[in-house]
Amino acid sequence: MDSGLCLVSSLKHQTIVQNNFYDPSWLQKQRHVPMNFVWPKECLVNANEELQAPLVDLDGFLKGNEEATKNVAKLISKACSTHGFFQVINHGVDLSLIGEAYNQMDGFFKQPINRKLNARKKKGSMWGYSGAHADRFSSKLPWKETLSFPFYDNTFEPVVTNYFDSTLGEDFQQAGVAFQKYCEAMKKLGMKLMEILAISLGVDRLHYKYLFEDGCSIMRCNYYPSCQEPSVALGTGPHCDPTTLTILHQDQVGGLDVFADHKWQTVKPRSDAFVVNIGDTFTALSNGRYKSCLHRAVVNRYKERRSLAFFLCPKEDKVLRAPQDIVSRDGTKQYPDFTWSRLLQFTQNYYRADEATLQNFTKWLISSKTTNPLP
């Protein structure tokens, strides 16, 4: 790849782009946000109130208390049937592990751009550093830098530690150890949440777990630099996560908005809580009963913001379909059978995930079956 700087003049601004990567420190110093970071007005409507979403205390459920389990299932069922979002406390994850993850993440993102680019995502891969996804998109660029890496535990290898060693080098060996522990804790919490989701849907509590036991999940560190024009830019545009379940921790700056009751609402950060949202894949696995949460991340003028997003994903080739007894109770099956491999391929190669990914994926899947019927 050509390593030279190239001057790309857009309508109003000259933008220095290095290898399709923006230098955030340069971007921030410009009077105006470059045009390709400006979002359509309909995506920028202000959130004027705070989401009153349930704060689910997992303590009793994790200790096996039947009464507590019933109450948690009821709370989660109501939240997931409306907007697909809730927060959990007493989740069993050591808070110092979260703090260490932020410290290690800061160590990476505060490096100069040329050092970050040593870990840049290669074409066709999800793993590595990305600046504004400028290598993938040419407009509505998110005002963020990300570092994404895989997590799977059907191996004795510490895959995250190995990833950091091989990609970021020995300076980040400690970061690799910290994120290995963090991802293990996320997977454990994710499996518990899969149990309570099954219970809340009236199916066997182990029904969904087998899908994830040997799946490859996605860990993503989001770093949102402060922005000189926060009213026209977005850290992450409006979208539903195509994945199954997201377990996200946000720092204390604030900026996560959820679309509920026909309006954008802010999610007040809680340092002791994880944000949990239903993704498109679980909407299909619940036969449409649970909503894939529409959300976005806004930026601000004064302070960078960080979030740690763990996306629980099923084994790529497992056939995903709603439990038969839910379909029987509902009378019709809402979605075609699919695999995570196909949905991931759709979002990485054909369609940028937004609020309509699942509908468009379904159409794409059916059309690709009719044009290329399986043998």
Ligand X SMILES: C=C1C[C@]23C[C@H]1CC[C@H]2[C@]1(C)CCC[C@@](C)(C(=O)O)[C@H]1[C@@H]3C(=O)O
Ligand Y SMILES: O=C(O)CCC(=O)C(=O)O
Q: Decide: is 250 part of the binding site for ligand Y (CB under 6 A).
A: yes
Residue given tokens 């522990």 in the structure block: 181
Do β-strands 49-50 and 263-266 pair in parallel, antiparallel, or remain unpaired?
parallel
Which residue lies nearer to ligand Y by CB, 147 or 198? 147
Instruction: Choose, by CB under 5 A, the member of 100, 145, 241, 280 that binds Fe ion.
Output: 241
Crossing angle, helix 173-200 and helix 95-109, to 10 degrees? Answer: 130
- Per-residue binding string, ligand Y, 307-346, x by CB under 6 A, is x-x-------------------------------------
Helix (H, G, I), strand (E, B) or coil at 354: coil
Q: How far apart are CA 262 and CA 133, in angstroms?
A: 29
Query: Residue 250: which of ligand X, ligand Y, Fe ion, none does it interact with, CB under 5 to 8 A by kind?
Result: ligand Y
Q: Of 80, 293, 297, 322, which lies in the binding site for ligand Y, with binding defined by CB under 6 A? A: 297
Per-residue CA distances from 218 to 148, 244, 315 (Å): 7, 11, 12
Dihedral of alpha carbons 74, 79, 85, 88, sign: negative
Q: Which is nearer to ligand X, 102 or 351 (CB)?
A: 351
- Decide whether 162 or 360 has the Cβ nearer to ligand Y: 360
Stretch 347-366 residues interacting with ligand X (CB under 6 A):
347, 352-353
The two tokens of residue 171 are: 């300076």
Residue pair 236/269 in contact (Cβ under 8 Å)? The answer is no
Could you say which of Fe ion, ligand X, ligand Y, none residue 258 binds, taking C-beta under 5 to 8 angstroms by partner kind? none
With 0-12 / 13-18 / 19 or more C-beta atoms within 10 angstroms meaning exposed / middle / buried, residue 309 is buried
Q: Using DSSP, state whether 320 is helix, strand or coil.
A: strand
Do 22 and 131 contact (CB within 8 A), yes or no? yes
Quick one: which of 104, 236, 283, 362 contacts ligand X (CB under 6 A)? Answer: 236
Q: By CB under 6 A, which span of 66-74, 202-210, 236-244, 266-274 interacts with ligand X?
A: 236-244
Q: Taking the complex as a whole, how short is the minimal distance between the CB of residue 146 and Fe ion, in angstroms? A: 11
Q: Where are the beta strands (DSSP E) in the chain?
A: 5-9, 14-18, 21-22, 49-50, 55-57, 85-89, 128-131, 145-151, 217-224, 236-239, 245-250, 256-260, 263-266, 274-278, 295-297, 305-312
Candidate residues 100, 241, 251, 304; the one interacting with ligand Y per rule CB under 6 A: 241
Interface with ligand Y includes 357 (CB under 6 A)?
no
Instruction: Give the N- to C-terminal CA distance of the chain in Å, as an integer.
Output: 39
Which single residue is written with the structure tokens 């840049």? 120
Least separation, in Å, of the C-beta of 65 and ligand X?
33
Q: What is the signed CA dihedral for 97, 100, 101, 105, rounded to 10 degrees?
A: 180
358 is an interface residue for ligand Y by CB under 6 A: no
Q: By beta-carbon distance, which residue lies closest to Fe ion?
A: 241
Nearer to ligand Y, 15 or 307 (CB): 307
Q: Residue 106: what are its φ and ψ, rounded to 5°?
A: -60, -40
Instruction: List active site positions.
Output: 305
Q: Residue from 239, 291, 295, 315 that binds ligand X (CB under 6 A)?
A: 239
Cβ atoms of 356 and 341 within 8 Å: the answer is no
Binding of ligand Y by 281 (CB under 6 A): no
What part of residues 196-225 is at the interface with ligand X (CB under 6 A)?
A: 218
Residue 347 near ligand Y by CB under 6 A: no
- Smallest distance from the beta carbon of 146 to ligand Y, in angstroms? 7
Rounded Cα distance between 356 and 239, Å, is 8
Q: Considering only 30-38, 64-72, 237-245, 326-334, which stretch makes contact with Fe ion by CB under 5 A?
A: 237-245
Looking at the Cβ atoms of 116 and 306, the one nearer to ligand Y is 306
Instruction: Indicate which single residue of 36, 69, 161, 236 sits in contact with ligand Y (rule: CB under 6 A).
Output: 236
Report the residue number, 160 or 199, with the smaller CB distance to ligand Y: 160
List contacts with ligand Y (CB under 6 A): 220, 222, 236, 241, 248, 250, 256, 295, 297, 307, 309
- Name the residues that contact ligand X, by CB under 6 A: 133, 142, 218, 236, 239, 241-243, 311, 344, 347, 352-353
